Amino acid sequence: MHHETSLGIWLAFVVFILAVLALDLGVFHKKSHTVGFKESIIWSGVWIALAMAFNVIILFWRGQEDFMLFLTGYVIEKSLSVDNLFVFLLIFSYFKIPNQYQHKVLFYGILGALVMRAFFIWAGIAILENFAWVIYIFGAFLLFSGIKMMIPHDENADLGKSWVVRCARKVFHTTHELHGDKFFCVENGKKMITPLFLALIFVEFSDLVFAIDSIPAIIGITNDPFLVFTSNVFAILGLRSLYFALKGFADMFHYLKYGLAVILMFIGVKMLIVKWYHMPIAATMGVIFSVLLISVLVSIYMKKKNGSETVS
């Protein structure tokens, strides 16, 4: 059961997000520059503060249960997005995108991600409301995704051999040269796409793949479209700042993906047994927060342990 949210509130939220994005790119990041650690930490704080302020509004407007549902959804999406940041690192290093142009790629990538998310959320909730049995498919899929995440795989795949790049190079004329922060250029009278645009295509595709896991995960917590969409949006908005803050010490989160795998499996099981047992939101939150905390602490401990072994 979820609250009906009026069209006016939906429109007000979308206008607010578009205004924040316009400020971000049009004022604060008008010129391409390398985003430093200090700047990224400040911006990460701003996005988290905005999300928490919005959640306080939800607390007074809708009550404690929706406040907890938004918070849980936001934490799940934020945590899963950390795993996606490592894919961004791989994309930028493969296409040799300089630091000062990465923000622009991520900005437009996130704009595209918001549109895709809106569609996925609408489709997912509409399917569930009309075909309740689909929750078992979602649950089985999350269980499978969690198990798959546990299995080690090649972190240094050659992106040039992927079908995404091969298709893009068949559809568009491509140049191997960067043209500043331009997505398109003209060479020998032909309009071409630059490596910056190829990187953007890959960022969009990686978010599409990432959404296939994350949307069922959050729908497993709540099927309220407004809570699912808003928690998703706030988690995605802070993704760029988080990327620049984390890329310096990515190995600090080495074991986080195992924690995320456990969370996906947990939500999968929760969806599979929903007919017989409906877990209270407080218990769900407790499991998710505990698993995340343990995986981050294990990552930090193992990094220190390996570092001391290297020194000795």
**CA separation, residue 71 to residues 8, 16, 148, 191 (Å):** 23, 20, 26, 46
Say what the pLDDT of residue 73 is.
Answer: 92
**CA separation, residue 286 to residues 1, 34, 78, 220 (Å):** 22, 38, 16, 15
**CA separation, residue 305 to residues 80, 259, 302, 309, 310 (Å):** 26, 19, 5, 6, 9
Question: pLDDT tens string for the chain (312 positions)?
Answer: 456 778 899 999 999 988 888 887 666 666 776 777 788 888 889 899 999 999 999 999 999 999 999 999 999 988 888 777 878 888 888 888 988 888 889 888 888 888 898 999 999 999 988 888 999 999 999 999 999 888 876 655 667 677 888 888 888 888 888 888 899 998 888 899 999 999 999 999 888 888 887 889 989 998 899 999 999 999 988 888 888 877 766 666 778 889 989 999 999 999 999 889 888 888 998 999 899 899 889 988 887 887 666 544
Alpha carbon 145 to its chain centroid, in Å, reads: 16
Count CB atoms within 10 A of the CB of residue 46: 16
Structure-block tokens of residue 155: 């972190």
Say what the pLDDT of residue 227 is.
Answer: 94
Say what the pLDDT of residue 179 is.
Answer: 87
pTM over 0.75: yes
